[in-house]
Chain A
Amino acid sequence: NAGVTQTPKFQVLKTGQSMTLQCAQDMNHEYMSWYRQDPGMGLRLIHYSVGAGITDQGEVPNGYNVSRSTTEDFPLRLLSAAPSQTSVYFCASSRPGTNYGYTFGSGTRLTVV
């Protein structure tokens, strides 16, 4: 099925470890974004990309890194995991235009101990 694929679905990290959350979409969407969801906070934008080779920071970028070498892939890297990064992470993609909603991946539940 076409859509946004996120891996892994669950992950436990130790403080200080690094890891990459994978995100891929097969809809040829220009826009891709990473959000984190914490209780009572809604979804907050971490980083986003408007096309291959172009990335920018969102509302809560500290501790995360992204790259966009292809239209399809938009990995999120945690450089040195901290307990404050325990959250549910969503990748999403869209076409440009205010009339297009975003398609979301199924999410990654990350726990940092």
Chain B
Amino acid sequence: AQKITQTQPGMFVQEKEAVTLDCTYDTSDPSYGLFWYKQPSSGEMIFLIYQGSYDQQNATEGRYSLNFQKARKSANLVISASQLGDSAMYFCAMREGWGYGGSQGNLIFGKGTKLSVKP
């Protein structure tokens, strides 16, 4: 079973509008971290935002926020006021467990969403 599901292969958004990229996850581990990465056309992987399973508040980093709904196992990325430079692939990822030893601690990725920002 997929641990990270991103159901939107591609999305379009108008410049200056907000956009939500969906991510659902599957784990039985009570301790986990959720991450979003951006991959522009140049290919590098850029860390955007992190949410811990025990965090009470949704994470925010500038124009990025993470809509964390633990009961639904959902961790959607919200980008406010989209810019042309936001056009990229976006990956949701999860890290389970305390990260010490064994397969727990590996970062597991979804298949990604390609976001295109229209001027």
Interface segment, A11-19, A38-46, A70-78?
A38-46
A28 to chain B, nearest CB (A): 15
Question: In the assembled complex, which residues on chain B have CB atoms less than 8 Å from the CB atom of A102?
Answer: 107
Asked if A96 and B105 sit within 8 Å, CB to CB, the answer is: yes
> Is there a chain B Cβ closer than 8 Å to A26's Cβ?
no
Q: How far is the CB of A74 from chain B (nearest CB, A)?
A: 14
The chain B residue sitting closest to A97, CB to CB, is B99
Interface size class of A (residues with CB under 8 A): 20 to 34
Q: Is B35 an interface residue (CB 8 A)?
A: yes
- B97 surroundings in chain A (CB, below 8 A): 98
**Residue in chain A with minimal CB distance to B43:** A107
Task: Enumerate chain A interface residues (CB-CB to B < 8 A).
Answer: 31, 33, 35, 40-45, 48, 50, 56, 58, 88, 90, 92, 94-104, 106-107, 109
A-B contact pairs, 17 of them (CB 8 A): A43-B109, A48-B106, A50-B101, A50-B102, A56-B103, A58-B106, A92-B107, A94-B107, A96-B99, A97-B99, A98-B33, A98-B96, A98-B98, A101-B107, A104-B44, A106-B43, A107-B43
